[in-house]
Amino acid sequence: MSYQGSCHCGAIQFEVNAPTPDNAISCNCSHCRRKGMLLTFVPADQFTLIQGEDALQAYKFNTHRIDHRFCRKCGTQPFAYGANPDGTPVRAINLRCVPAIDLELLQLQHYDGASA
Q: Say which CATH topology domain 3-111 has.
A: 2.170.150
Q: What is the pLDDT of residues 18-66, one digit of tens each?
A: 999 999 999 998 888 999 999 999 999 999 999 999 999 998 877 667 8
Q: What is the pLDDT of residue 48?
A: 98
Task: Yes or no: say if 2 and 53 are a contact pair by the CB < 8 Å rule.
Answer: no
Cα separation, 113 vs 34, in Å, equals 13
Residues 65-82, mean pLDDT to the nearest whole number: 94
Please state the domain extents for the chain: 3-111
Q: Which residues of 27-50 are buried (b: 16+ CB within 10 A; e: fewer)?
A: bebebbeebebbbbebeeeebeee
CA torsion, ordered 52, 34, 99, 18, to nearest 10 deg: 80
Q: What is the pLDDT of residue 74?
A: 97
CB neighbours of residue 26 within 10 Å = 16
Q: What is the pLDDT of residue 64?
A: 67
What phi and psi, each to the nearest 5 degrees, are found at residue 46?
-95, 0
The residue among 85 and 11 whose pLDDT is bigger is: 11
